[in-house]
Chains A and B, each alone.
Chain A
C-alpha cells in the first residue's frame, strides 16, 4: 500500500476478506422470505401467474450491498489509519530535543510543536528522560532531563521569539548534559538557517557520540526578511533577502508601510529575479507621508524578520546655526539667522554656539552632533574646523548654506559648496537694470522640493550665480523662472550640502519671508540625519534606552514584554534581552532591527556524522483513524439494506396503496421532525402573557380611568365614562370601546389616549414608580384628566385647599408638570366639536386647566389660536364623571349642582370636546386655513 498513505493496526484481520466469496454464495442462495397470504380467488390468480417468473435469488445489487457491508466491517476491524506518521528510530536511552524557536521558525511553529510532541510521545512510550532546549531562549534555561509530561508542558509553553538562534551556547549546554546520560537520541529541529559557528556548536554537542541523530529541517526554506530601509529624496527604498536555497525561481511580494497607529499608508512591490536572493522595492509616496512611516512589513509573512521599524521620522533634528554677522538686537529683522530660527523652531532643536568666532563655533556645534548646520553668509571656514566639518558631512551631516556678501568674497570651495560659484552676483531690476525681478520657477522633479507648489509671490532681485557646468542641472533643486539655479544641493558622502543662492534675509529676495521658505527648510531638515546615536549626546540622554515598542515573533508591533531589557548604547546585536523594536520613549526612539543590511539567509548544513541520521520534516499530526468512518459506512449500508428489503417486500408500495396507513406514517414522521425541531417551534411562537389584554385594549379606542381603590369613586368613574361613551357614539363618528379601568402601578397605560383620574383623598397614594409611569405616559403623548371634584367644598381664600386639592398637589409634585393656564377662549378645546365657553361637570365654575400655550399666537383675529401638540395634563374640579354618569337605563345617576338639565348637556359636550381634542390635536385650529387654501385653489 505504498501508493496510499494507509496502514493497518491489525493487518491479520484482513484475511477475513477471504470469507467474502462464501458470504456471496450464501447470499445468492437465500431469497427473502415471502409474505404469506390467504387468497380465495387463487385460481384466477393462477392464470395470471403462469406467465411470471418467480425470482429464486436476491437481486445482484442487494448481494453487492451486503458484500460491501461485510468488507467494510472486516476493514474496520483491521484498524486502518490514514496518513500514518512516520516511525522514527529512537533507540537511545534518552532523548535530547533541541529546537530552534527563533524568528525564522515562527511561521510554522505549530508544525514544529506537533513534530516535537510526537518525538516526546515516542520517548514516553520508551520511558526515557527528555532533554529539551530552545536555542532562542536564554542560555541559562532549564534543559532537564524532564519526564515526558513535563517536557510536553514546557514545549507548549514556549513560543517563538523574534531573535536569532544562539546555537553555540545552547548546544554546548546540551552537550554537557548528555555527558551525564546514557547514549541518547539527539533530535535537532532547526529553523533551516545557517548561523555563524554552527559547526563548532555541533561539535560541542557531539562530544559524546549519541545513539542516533534526528535532523529536522523545514521542507521548504521560504524564510524572507527585510534588511534595509533607506529614505531617499523622493522614495523610500527597502531591501528584502530570501534564503539562497529558495532563490531559483522568481518571486514577487508586496510590502506595506504603516504609521505609528498601524494604519497602512504606503505600498511597495518587491520582485526577486530568478537566482537572486536580494530584491528591492520602492515606496514612492509624498514626503509628508513617508515621514509618518513607523514600520514596514512584508505582506503575508508572519515573522519578525519581515518587519522593520523606522526611527528617523520620529526624531527631532538638532540644527546648528552659524553666522558671521553678530546679532544686533536693534536690527533684529535684518539679522541673517532671524528668519531661519523662526522657520525651524517648530520642528527642530536649535543649537547655537556660544562663541562668535567661526573657528570655535564649528567644533562647539559638532560636539552637539547636529543633523543640520546652517551657515548664513559664512565666507571662508578656517582650517581645523573645516576638516572637522567636512568629516561630519561625509558621515551624514547636512550643511545648509546661504549666499551673502561674505560668501561672494570667499574663495571657491568645492567641498563646502554644491556647485562652483561665479565670482559675481546677479542683480535683477533696480535703477541700473532693464530686467525685472525674477519669480521662482517650478521646482525640478528630481529635487526634494518637487512636491511643493512653486511660490508665486516670491521675487528675487539679487542672487549668486553658479558656474554653468554639465551637471549643474542635476544639482539644481530650485530655479528662477529663467532657469537660473536658486537652490542647489549635492551629496557629500552620507551627507549633503545645500546652498541657497540668496541670503536668509529679505534684502536680496522676499523668499525668506514667504511660506515656501519654511516648507523648503522643513524638507531639507527631514532629509537630514542626526549624527550619532541619541545616546551619544552628552547630557540630554541617559546611557540606555528603555524598550518602547517591540516586534513580536509574528511580526506584530506590541508593547514590550517582561524579557525586554533596556538597550545599551552602541549595542547592535539582537538578543533575547534586546528583542527587535523601538527603544526610547515618545520623545525619540531608536530602531533596533533584526536583520543587518548585509545579512544573507543561507540554509543550514547537516553535520557529517558517523552515527545513523534520520531526516525529519515538520508536519502536523495528520494520522486519521479510519475505523469509525468505516463502521459508520457499514451501518449506513445496513440501513440501506433494511430499506431495500422492505422495498422488495413491498412495504412502501403497500403504504402507497393504503393512504390511511401512509397518513399515519407521515404523521409519525412529522411528529418525529417536530420533536427534533422543537427549538424552532418554540422560537416561532412569540406569544407573551398579556397579549390578549393588549389586543383587547387597542382593538378599539378606549377611554381609561384610574382605579383609585375607592369602590364608590371607581364605579362613578366607570359609569361616567360609559355615559360619555354613549354620548360620543350618539353625537360623533367616534365609537369608543368599553371604558377601561387601569391600575397605574401595573397596567400598560400607552394603549389609552385619555385617562380620567378622579382624585380621592381617601384613596391610597400611588408610589413613585407608578408616578414615574404616569409621567412617562404623559411625555409620550397621553393625557391625564385630573378631577378633584371639590369645586364647592374648597374653602374661600386664596390659600385654602380641600384635601383632594392637597392630594393633587402632592401627586403633581412628583411629576414634571408644564406651566398651566385655564383654557383660553380661543383655545382649540373650545371648538374641537361643540363651541363651548366653559367646561362644567356636576359642578360649575372651576376652570379647566391645561398646559399653557405661551408661544402660541393668535394673529389676524383668527377664531382659534394656532399651536402644536396636545396638553398632557388637564385639571378640573367640576366632577365631570359625576355629570356623565348614567345607570343601566341611561338615566343620570347623580344630580348636577345646581340642578340644571342644560348643565349636564354642557358637561357632556365638554367631555366630547376633550375626547375629540385628544384624538385630533390641533386639527381644528388648522381648519382656519381652509378658506385661504380654497381661495388659493381658485374655487
Chain B
C-alpha cells in the first residue's frame, strides 16, 4: 500500500528563491503600512500615499498659522489670494523580520499536496523578502541576519540560509524592536501553549506578527484508515491505531480547535493569522499576507488618531 505522507528532503534555498521570486512577481509592490514608525527617518524608495517627509509632490493645502514660512509655495500662492503649502509624499522604510520553520515536521508532504510544508514556507518567506526589498524595506531573519536594506535582499537571505550551519528550532525573538513586523511561517503543530509562550515576547515588545500556518491537506483531513502506525518525524515516537478511520472525527476536532485558538489569540493582539495548504497555491497566502501588511490594524488606527 502506498503511503499517504512522507518526509521530503529539505528544499534547497536557491530553488525556493527562484520559486519565491516567481510568486513575488505576481504580487504588486508591497507597501508596508508603517504609520507607527513616525520617528523612523530611514528613507525608503517608495511613497506612502500620504504627506510626510519625502521628495515628491503630494498636494497643495492652505497654509495654517504656525507653519514654517519656508513651506509656503510661493509660486502657487501667487495665483490667487490664498497662501498654499506644498506637501510632499511621505517616503519611509520599515523593518520586517522573516522566519520560516526549519523543523523536521515541516518536511512532511502527503500525496495530495504538491510540495512539502518546508518548501512552501520557504517560498512564501523568500517571496516576501523579494517584495519587501523591492519596496526598499529593511528585512531581517532572526538568528541569521540583522535588518538590512538591499535591492537583492531575497538573494542575500537565501545565501545566508544556505550557509547557516545549524538553525535553531525556535530562534530568540527578544531582539526584535517595537514597530517592526515579523512574518512567521510554520505549521504551529506544537501545543498552543508552547507557541504562545514563545511568541509572547513579541507581543510584549509591541511587534506586529503575521503568522502563516502551513498545513498539509492530509494533516487536516486525516485520510488514514485501517490498521496504521503513525510516526512523529521530530521525536520518532510511534503510535498504532487499529482502525484509523475511527479516530478521524475526533482528531479533526482537535486539529481545528488548535488553529482556532491560535487565530483567536492573534486577532486579540491585532496580529494576522493566515492558513496556507500545501495543495493550494502559495500566492494565496502571499496575497493575504500582503493585505495584512498594508492594512490598518486596530492598533494602527489608534496611533493615527
Contact = CB atoms under 8 A, between A and B. Distances in A.
Interface of A: 31-49, 52-55, 648-651, 653-654, 657-658
A42 B229 contact: no
Contact of A45 (B235, B242, B246, B251): B251
A36 B229 CA distance: 4
Given A43-B232, A650-B226, A658-B223, A52 B242 contact: yes
B189 interface: yes
B219 A41 contact: yes
8 contacts: A37-B3, A38-B5, A40-B189, A40-B232, A42-B237, A44-B255, A48-B251, A650-B227
Contact of B255 (A37, A38, A41, A648): A41
A95 to B, nearest CB: 65
Given A40-B234, A41-B255, A45-B239, A649 B5 contact: no
Given A48-B247, A55-B242, A658-B223, A37 B228 contact: yes
Given A37-B4, A39-B230, A44 B189 contact: yes
A654 B7 CA distance: 21
Interface in B73-116: 105-106, 108
A45 B223 contact: no
Contacts of B7: 38
B189 to A, nearest CB: 5
A42 B230 contact: yes
A53 B136 CA distance: 58
A37 B246 CA distance: 16
B248 to A, nearest CB: 9
A540 B239 CA distance: 114
Contacts of B231: 36-39, 42
B228 A653 contact: no
Contacts of A54: 240-242
B243 interface: yes
A48 B224 CA distance: 14
Contacts of B245: 650, 653
Given A39-B231, A650-B245, A653-B245, 4 more contacts: A37-B231, A38-B230, A52-B247, A649-B227
B173 to A, nearest CB: 23
B206 to A, nearest CB: 31
Given A45-B251, A48-B251, A52-B246, A34 B234 contact: no
B229 A34 contact: yes
Nearest to B221: A657
B279 interface: no
Contacts of A648: 226-227
Contacts of A55: 227, 242
Contacts of B244: 650
B298 to A, nearest CB: 31
A466 to B, nearest CB: 110
A440 B147 CA distance: 148
A53 B242 contact: yes
* 8 tightest Cβ-Cβ pairs between the two chains A and B: A650-B226, A650-B225, A42-B232, A40-B105, A39-B230, A34-B227, A653-B225, A649-B226
A38 B232 CA distance: 6
Contact of B240 (A34, A38, A44): A34
A871 to B, nearest CB: 78
Contact of B223 (A31, A38, A649, A654): A654
Main secondary structure of the interface of A (DSSP, over half): mixed
Interface residues of B, number: 44
B151 interface: no
A658 B7 CA distance: 21
Contacts of B3: 35-38
B44 interface: no
Contact of A657 (B225, B235, B246): B225
Contacts of B108: 38-40
A37 B229 contact: yes
Contacts of B246: 52
Contacts of A31: 227
A653 B247 CA distance: 13
Contacts of A52: 241-243, 246-247
Interface string B244-288: 111100110011001000000000000000000000000000000
A502 B243 CA distance: 113
A41 B189 contact: yes
Nearest to B227: A34
B226 A44 contact: no
The winner among A40, A55, A654 for most chain B CB atoms within 10 A is: A40
A43 B189 contact: yes
Given A35-B1, A653-B245, A40 B225 contact: no
A482 B237 CA distance: 127
Contacts of A32: 227
A650 B228 CA distance: 9
Contacts of B187: 40
B225 A654 contact: yes
A35 B250 contact: no
A34 B106 CA distance: 24
Nearest to A39: B230
B191 interface: yes
A909 to B, nearest CB: 74
Contacts of B242: 52-55
Contacts of B239: 42, 45-46, 49
Contacts of A42: 230-232, 235, 237, 239
A850 B232 CA distance: 99
A49 B226 contact: no
Contacts of A43: 189-191, 232
Nearest to B219: A41
Contacts of B237: 42, 46
Contacts of A657: 223, 225
Contacts of B225: 650, 653-654, 657
A739 to B, nearest CB: 61
A38 B233 CA distance: 7
A656 to B, nearest CB: 9
B6 interface: yes
A32 B228 CA distance: 10
B251 A38 contact: no
A606 B303 CA distance: 128
Given A35-B226, A37-B224, A649 B233 contact: no
Nearest to B103: A40
A55 to B, nearest CB: 4
B247 A39 contact: no
Contacts of A40: 105-106, 108, 117, 187, 189, 216, 219, 232-234
A588 B115 CA distance: 106
Given A649-B1, A654-B223, A35 B228 contact: yes
The winner among B7, B105, B117 for most chain A CB atoms within 10 A is: B105
A45 B187 CA distance: 15
A39 B239 CA distance: 10
B250 to A, nearest CB: 5
The winner among A31, A33, A48 for most chain B CB atoms within 10 A is: A48
A542 to B, nearest CB: 95
A768 to B, nearest CB: 73
B215 to A, nearest CB: 9
A35 B232 CA distance: 14
Contacts of A658: 223
Contacts of A35: 1, 3, 224, 226-229
B1 A651 contact: yes
B260 to A, nearest CB: 13
A653 B108 CA distance: 23
Contacts of B117: 40
B64 to A, nearest CB: 59
Interface in B48-75: none
Contacts of B251: 41, 44-45, 48
B7 to A, nearest CB: 5
Nearest to A56: B242
Contacts of B223: 654, 657-658
A657 B240 CA distance: 21
Contact of B243 (A39, A41, A47, A650): A650
